[in-house]
């Protein structure tokens, strides 16, 4: 594994240092004169560019299967072609961990699958580093994939140039850019957040000082952004990954305590979920129900804010229900309130009074057996699928 140098980016080498496969003659036909003529993959024959072995590799087949699972009419072909082009463009590049670079855009696409992103978002995710890190240009992306996909890739590329110098200025500035990009196409910000999440998950490959800087930036900028968009899962993971790097001792302490209590909590959550599932089935409402994973950083913040120990934290359980319409959200709310007693002071209607969020949601807290408060979030995805 290559030891990262100070000033290195996330990638193995700066784009200028990366020898493109075309220049190595590995897969591409070499351009007649690489110094004069920039590589133009649009000139390659479709047979060459869309190699069936790549287009139908197990990696992409698995991804397509998941996509079609929640979006049967999605453009499989678009995603397969995006993968083939990204694969060719990144061929020969490695991440700092030593693995092939293409694993990174694929991992980003997998994160988007969890948010039930559409084919355009997945294609954008697969291509998100191509313009920045390979000789392939935005014009070529547009020629191959049309203006919509080119627009997404361009948005992500522009956001990745955000360089954090002065923290305050950077925060305000990047927020602005993020939101301009989002207003334009929410998929740009989704991809950017998924990109940051995967980079955080693989941060061990970097040197300590750099890990600290990136973790700080994630906590200051990306986690609040995910919060404002209501993408809770990404937000909490970004926070916990950052916290683990910035305050490893405290992280371990809380994680250990939670581990001790986990069994009891999990048993209760599972019982709540089972009861809810059964009732929704009886009412013919199809919904995904999940228990919310433990979020260490938010517990730490609460301890700091209230100046209390972990034992004194009001230990709320949480369950999330995702249904497909607003109407069903309210029906589920009625069902939840009829099964368990609600704490009326803890009710928020973010459907009637929306916040800047990717989700329309209802938050309520009910008392479940054992006299334990359990927050139930009922939502339906609004923007995650498409614009």
Q: Judged by CB under 5 A, how many residues of this single chain contact Mn ion?
A: 2
The residue (of 129 and 239) whose beta carbon lies closer to Mn ion is: 129
CB of 162 to Mn ion, least distance (A): 13
Per the document, the length of the chain is: 387
Active site residue 76: no
CB of 364 to Mn ion, least distance (A): 38
Contact 88, 80 (CB under 8 A): no
φ/ψ bin of 307: left (φ > 0), alpha (ψ from -120 to 50), beta (otherwise) = left
Active-site choice (118, 129, 133, 217):
133
CB of 27 to Mn ion, least distance (A): 22
75 SS3 class: coil
CB of 142 to Mn ion, least distance (A): 20
Active site residue 286: no
6 SS3 class: coil
Is 237 one of the binding residues for Mn ion (CB under 5 A)? no
Give the chain's count of helices (H) and strands (E).
18, 6
CB of 81 to Mn ion, least distance (A): 19
Residue 61: how many CA atoms within 13 Å on its side-chain side?
A: 6
Residue with token string 């047979």: 47
Taking CB under 5 A as the rule, which mask of x and - marks residues 142-181 in contact with Mn ion? ----------------------------------------
C-alpha to C-alpha distances, 320 to 63, 118, 277, 334, nearest whole angstrom: 25, 22, 12, 15
Question: How are the residues of the chain apportioned to helix, strand and coil, as percentages rounded to the nearest 5?
Answer: 60, 10, 30
> Which residues within the stretch 114-133 sit at the binding site for Mn ion (CB under 5 A)?
129
Is 328 one of the binding residues for Mn ion (CB under 5 A)? no
The residue (of 8 and 375) whose beta carbon lies closer to Mn ion is: 8
The residue (of 126 and 376) whose beta carbon lies closer to Mn ion is: 126
The bridge status of strand 372-381 relative to strand 317-322 is parallel
The residue (of 195 and 217) whose beta carbon lies closer to Mn ion is: 195
Is 195 one of the binding residues for Mn ion (CB under 5 A)? yes
Q: Return residues touching Mn ion (CB under 5 A).
A: 129, 195
Active site residues: 132-133
């Amino acid at each position: 594994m290559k030891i990262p140098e100070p000033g290195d980016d996330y990638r193995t080498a700066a784009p200028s240092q990366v020898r493109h496969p075309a220049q190595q003659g590995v897969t591409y036909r070499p351009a007649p004169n690489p110094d004069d003529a920039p590589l133009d993959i649009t000139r390659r024959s479709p047979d060459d560019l869309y190699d069936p072995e790549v287009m139908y590799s197990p990696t992409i087949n698995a991804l397509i299967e998941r996509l079609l699972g929640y979006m049967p009419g999605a453009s499989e072909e678009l995603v397969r072609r995006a993968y083939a082009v990204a694969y060719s463009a990144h061929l020969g590049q490695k991440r700092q961990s030593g693995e092939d670079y293409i694993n990174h855009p694929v991992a980003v696409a997998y994160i988007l699958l969890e948010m039930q992103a559409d084919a355009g978002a997945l294609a954008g995710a697969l291509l998100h580093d191509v313009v920045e890190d390979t000789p392939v240009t935005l014009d070529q992306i547009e020629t191959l994939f049309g203006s919509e996909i080119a627009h997404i890739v361009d948005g992500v590329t522009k956001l990745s140039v955000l360089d954090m110098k002065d923290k305050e200025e950077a925060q305000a500035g990047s927020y602005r850019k993020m939101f301009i990009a989002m207003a334009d196409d929410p998929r740009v910000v989704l991809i950017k957040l998924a990109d940051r999440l995967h980079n955080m998950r693989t941060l061990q490959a970097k040197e300590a000082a750099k890990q600290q800087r990136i973790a700080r930036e994630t906590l200051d900028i990306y986690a609040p952004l995910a919060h404002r968009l209501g993408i809770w899962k990404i937000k909490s993971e970004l926070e916990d990954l950052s916290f683990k790097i910035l305050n490893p001792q405290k992280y371990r302490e809380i994680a250990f305590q939670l581990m001790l209590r986990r069994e009891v909590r999990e048993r209760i959550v599972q019982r709540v979920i089972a009861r809810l599932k059964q009732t929704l089935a009886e009412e013919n409402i199809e919904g995904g129900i999940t228990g919310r994973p433990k979020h260490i950083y938010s517990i730490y913040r609460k301890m700091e804010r209230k100046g209390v120990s972990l034992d004194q934290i009001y230990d709320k359980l949480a369950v999330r229900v995702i249904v497909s319409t607003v109407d069903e959200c309210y029906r589920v709310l009625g069902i939840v309130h009829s099964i368990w007693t609600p704490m009326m002071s803890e009710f928020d209607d973010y459907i009637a009074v929306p916040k800047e969020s990717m989700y329309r949601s209802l938050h309520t807290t009910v008392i479940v057996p054992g006299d334990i408060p359990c927050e139930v979030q009922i939502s339906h995805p609004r923007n995650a699928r498409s614009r």
